[in-house]
Structure 1
Amino acid sequence: MRIQGIRISNSTASLSIKDWQLGEEHWGILTTSSDSNRLLEQLLMGDIEPESGEISQLVDSVECVSLYEQQKLLERELANDETDFQDSIDYGSSVEQLISELGCSDAELEQVIQKTDLIALRDRPFRQLSTGETRRLMLARALVKKPKLLVLDEPYSGLDIAHRASLTKLLDELSSKMQLIVMTSREDEFPSAISHLALFDNAQLSQTLSIQEWHDHPLRQQALSLSESKSSDWLSLMEGENEQLSQEPLIKLTNAKVEYLDGIIFKDFNWQMDQGQHWQIRGPNGCGKSTLLGLIVGDHPQCYANDIQIFGIKRGSGESIWDVKKRIGIVSSSLHLQYRVGCSVLEVLLSGYFDSIGLYEQPSKKQLLFAERWLEVLEMSHLAKTGFRQLDYGQQRLLLVARALIKRPQLLVLDEPYQGLDFISRKLVHAALEKISSANLSSLLYVTHYQEDELQAIRNFIDFEPLEEGHKLVTSHK
């Protein structure tokens, strides 16, 4: 395949490629901005017509695994939700149904379920899957179509250590059957089959090189320097906000328990998080990390069946939800998927003051001016009136991180905050969180599967250890 003189654009992004020759080799893609990733995917899949240039020898069977495709599937499942017409909550089609609907044989179904480690989840409804489990499902759906070219956009996002290793092994196996193009913000996530890299900078293909040549490339150091500078701007904005302190424990759980019809997730968990502390929650995909966070922030249906105190206020005692949530900033895949309303970039940022999905209250002049300052720092001022859902997934996630920070919350809940971010944005957010936690501007409750994303200020940990039934939650300190 050869791409020459291509230029494509939409309302929020553009992409240009002067000359790119793709033989049968496997490619890795690194971009300094995620804005163009979706355009590149659409171009390779033949879903978009370029404004200029041409593509010769376009592959006729292309599948894409991306967070964008995952969102599309969620939209479809929500549209088919029949909860209002039955006596129980409709959590969507099962894993097996979502793979089978693509027309595979029983033998092919069993093979792909085994390869993607979905055997134990085959009957699990789509909307009850964890982030990592959903990523494996999306890969399984792509594989049953037997593509000649498989495009993977952040394929490791949300996967725990064991499943990242399994995915690398699977991709190396698939490399003998199909061509791979892997887009990732993490340079260590390319499977060994990747022999060439394409670097995209300022919305254009800037260079192609071998994987060996990348390790000495100046762009790596430039990204680190740029993220360090920008993160200082983020810190300055947060330091300008009023500090909210509490003499009570931020969180206190007494004999916490979550149980479903098919078993116990965890039980007998006693834990307290005090002002000034930072905690990281660790454990494999599907163990219950997001469940624990949902219990704490009040988004899980069993939160009122447990003895939970937030900022000294007992959950279910008639407390105002606003009194609790106004002190919490949240970034999570769940919030991202729920943020489906038709509001602008500026309104999304302002909604952080009111903890709403969408903007339903009139912000003050001070809040409006401060949000505009945040957009300047994010380099999104030109997108202020653009619809949130028109943004690339990575742009959306970066905006939601800023939404969580804008009011300088007393408690910052971060569940895989880097998901979908490009190379530079991930470095930027990590550097900003290092500064925020070190300065104790907010107390962090943090989930990540990557050792490189650990923060120096975090010295307290909750680990999910498997039992015969559910998990035991163990705390530790360093």
Structure 2
Amino acid sequence: MSEPVVYIQNLNLKYKSKIVLKDLNWSINRGDNWLLNGISGSGKTSLAKIIAGLQNAPGDIAINFDSNSKHPAQVLYVESWYQFKNVEGVANFYYQQRYTSLQVKETLTVEADLKLFGKENNLDFAEAEKIINALGYSAQRNTQLIELSSGEHKKLQLIKALWLKPQLLIIDQPYTGLDVNSRKSLNQLLDEIVADGVNLILICNDSELPAAINRFALLENGKITEVSSLQELQSETNQTLREMPDFLKVSPDYSSDSIVNMVNINISYGEKQVLKNINWEVNKGERWLLQGHNGSGKSTLLSLVNGDHPQAYANELYLFGNRRGSGESIWDIKQRIGLISPELHWYFDTSSTVWQTVASGLYDNFGLKLELPYSKAKQVDDLVNYFGLTDIKNETLSTLPLGKQRLVLLARTIIKNPELLILDEPCQGLDQQQTKYFNQLVDELCSNGMTLIYVGHYESALPNTLEKRILLDKGHVKIIEDINIFAEDA
């Protein structure tokens, strides 16, 4: 019998006093392609990084590459999180910078980044072309990295991984930010590289998987347990909502019946037109679902609504009853909005504690270090408790697993009881139970008359409160409709 590709014995890992992995044993044989599942914070990402040699931990681990394989003797770990650098090798960007044309030139284009990757790994660019086309990514080739949405960044990571074809490929949250068609195309591409001799581990909670996935593992209480089917991993535990804080039970203090009014909006970057003749009106208390394929213009549309896009002044755009450019500041707008998005999470200061992060939503900064008056501090305490974060309120965001970080930022989003709540893919990084819990929370929050714009690709992972839908396609409004039953085309 041949040696396993990965052999792990008595692996242990601790973060401070918390035991993450305890005497973990796992063997991955050639031809075995695993789905690794577990609740947020169970240690899945840490285990993947240990296997890939990116993190150390006590225990025995052996990687046995096949000397006869045509594929690189390498374990490639594709993170759920993407960090790019500018042309000088600097990774620090501020949130609004992605919409500033002068700063855009500081990052590589997608094609330049891919060619650099190909050169570093001795790869034929013709092979990348096939993957680019299969994932519908051709339109992004000349786009600067800083302009990409979270789904477009994810595709770039995946293109590199599929192009490299290492002997062992581990992908953390492979479907994050991807539209329905892209998920299907990705599964076909993964099946192809597995048939070509690549071993695969996927870390996710999704049910639509590549046909090549033939083993299923649950990471729980520090140990790996193999189960026989995907269904065994999807046991559901209902989480009871706590009592909503009193300040969220009342309707937001609306300044206008009109929240958003776009009249023939056009947005371009050089010769590339991203939004084309957009007409859209959102009135107070309405609850919208915003959908569209990756690259359809959703992120740009939202950047106009939340005040971040400088081209708003060159268009006829009204927010909260006032035309942009009529004298209000960006902070006047942000005070009325609660926002969570993958892009905001990228640029957030994770050195703040959970409590400070939630409190920072009161003043729209990225990490509050000031003392609050008693009434405001109690408001933060009540919300931290409502989200079940009290036991970790003094921990820094950077020490938390991604799913917990997202829950903290979600709490920050609603601290003001805003007139407009913008939730852009809010459940990225959350497991199924957390996703269900959060969407129940959104339903309850919106019962007070809060206005909502919600971006989500998965029809099965949406709040029930949604009542209207706008669908973008290549920068155009394709559909505006009331929500009943709609085709899964987003």
Q: TM-score, normalised by structure 2?
A: 0.85
SS at 1:258's partner residue?
A: strand
Q: Which runs of 5+ in 2 are unaligned?
A: 1-5, 66-72, 484-490
| 1:39 equivalent in alignment to 2:41 | no
Task: Tell me, yes or no, if the aligned pair for 2:307 and 2:333 is still in contact at 8 Å.
Answer: no
| Paired amino acid for 2:124 | S
| 1:404 equivalent in alignment to 2:413 | yes
Specify which of 5, 10, 18 is matched with residue 10 of structure 2.
Answer: 5
List 4+ stretches of structure 1 deviating above 6 A.
Answer: none
Task: Tell me, yes or no, if the aligned pair for 2:42 and 2:220 is still in contact at 8 Å.
Answer: no
| Paired amino acid for 1:96 | E
Counterpart-to-counterpart distance in 2, 1:257 and 1:299: 15
Task: Tell me, yes or no, if the aligned pair for 1:91 and 1:128 is still in contact at 8 Å.
Answer: no
Distance 1:13-1:42 versus aligned 2 partners, 3 A rule: farther
Q: Which runs of 5+ in 1 are unaligned?
A: none
Q: Which residue of 2 aligns with 1:372?
A: 381
Distance 1:414-1:308 versus aligned 2 partners, 3 A rule: same
Task: Tell me, yes or no, if the aligned pair for 2:290 and 2:470 is still in contact at 8 Å.
Answer: yes
Identify the range of structure 1 (164-173 vs 370-379) with the bigger mean alpha-carbon deviation. 370-379
Counterpart-to-counterpart distance in 1, 2:235 and 2:247: 27
Aligned-pair distance for 1:383? 3.4
Counterpart-to-counterpart distance in 1, 2:102 and 2:418: 38
Distance 1:425-1:20 versus aligned 2 partners, 3 A rule: same
Task: Tell me, yes or no, if the aligned pair for 1:91 and 1:126 is still in contact at 8 Å.
Answer: no
| Paired amino acid for 1:475 | I
Distance 1:116-1:477 versus aligned 2 partners, 3 A rule: closer
Q: Which residue of 2 aligns with 1:19?
A: 25
Counterpart-to-counterpart distance in 1, 2:478 and 2:365: 31
Aligned-pair distance for 1:262? 1.9
Q: Which residue of 2 aligns with 1:190?
A: 209
Distance 1:105-1:215 versus aligned 2 partners, 3 A rule: closer
Aligned-pair distance for 1:423? 2.9
Q: Which residue of 2 aligns with 1:433?
A: 442
Q: TM-score, normalised by structure 1?
A: 0.87
Q: Which residue of 1 aligns with 2:469?
A: 461
Counterpart-to-counterpart distance in 2, 1:58 and 1:346: 45
Distance 1:88-1:401 versus aligned 2 partners, 3 A rule: closer
Q: Which residue of 1 aligns with 2:109?
A: 94
Task: Tell me, yes or no, if the aligned pair for 2:85 and 2:107 is still in contact at 8 Å.
Answer: no
Counterpart-to-counterpart distance in 2, 1:80 and 1:347: 21
Specify which of 121, 134, 143 is matched with residue 124 of structure 1.
Answer: 143
| Paired amino acid for 2:80 | L
Specify which of 187, 196, 201 is matched with residue 181 of structure 1.
Answer: 201
Matches within 5 A, 1:104-183: 104-176=123-195, 177-183=197-203
Counterpart-to-counterpart distance in 2, 1:128 and 1:323: 25
Task: Tell me, yes or no, if the aligned pair for 1:412 and 1:444 is still in contact at 8 Å.
Answer: yes
Deviation by residue 1:411-462 (Cα, 9 ceiling, x = unmatched): 110111111222322222122223323x145211011111112333212111
Identity of aligned residues (%): 30
Identify the range of structure 1 (159-168 vs 365-374) with the bigger mean alpha-carbon deviation. 365-374
Counterpart-to-counterpart distance in 1, 2:246 and 2:364: 19
Aligned-pair distance for 1:263? 3.2
Identify the range of structure 1 (90-99 vs 161-170) with the bigger mean alpha-carbon deviation. 90-99
| 1:215 equivalent in alignment to 2:223 | no
Task: Tell me, yes or no, if the aligned pair for 2:36 and 2:204 is still in contact at 8 Å.
Answer: yes
Deviation by residue 1:146-184 (Cα, 9 ceiling, x = unmatched): 311111111111011111110111111121221111111
Task: Tell me, yes or no, if the aligned pair for 1:4 and 1:18 is still in contact at 8 Å.
Answer: yes
Task: Tell me, yes or no, if the aligned pair for 1:4 and 1:17 is still in contact at 8 Å.
Answer: yes
Specify which of 430, 440, 443 is matched with residue 451 of structure 2.
Answer: 443
SS at 1:67's partner residue?
A: coil
| Paired amino acid for 1:163 | S
Aligned-pair distance for 1:303? 1.3
Task: Tell me, yes or no, if the aligned pair for 1:462 and 1:476 is still in contact at 8 Å.
Answer: yes
Counterpart-to-counterpart distance in 2, 1:39 and 1:296: 37
Distance 1:355-1:13 versus aligned 2 partners, 3 A rule: farther
Aligned-pair distance for 1:57? 4.0
| Paired amino acid for 2:113 | L
Distance 1:427-1:237 versus aligned 2 partners, 3 A rule: farther
Deviation by residue 1:455-478 (Cα, 9 ceiling, x = unmatched): 332121112244xxx524542224
Matches within 5 A, 1:242-261: 243-261=252-270
Distance 1:4-1:185 versus aligned 2 partners, 3 A rule: same
| Paired amino acid for 1:167 | L
| Paired amino acid for 1:185 | N
Higher helix share: 1
Counterpart-to-counterpart distance in 1, 2:147 and 2:480: 26
Q: Which residue of 2 aligns with 1:413?
A: 422
| Paired amino acid for 1:430 | N
| Paired amino acid for 1:210 | S
| Paired amino acid for 1:263 | K
Distance 1:396-1:155 versus aligned 2 partners, 3 A rule: same
Aligned-pair distance for 1:291? 0.7
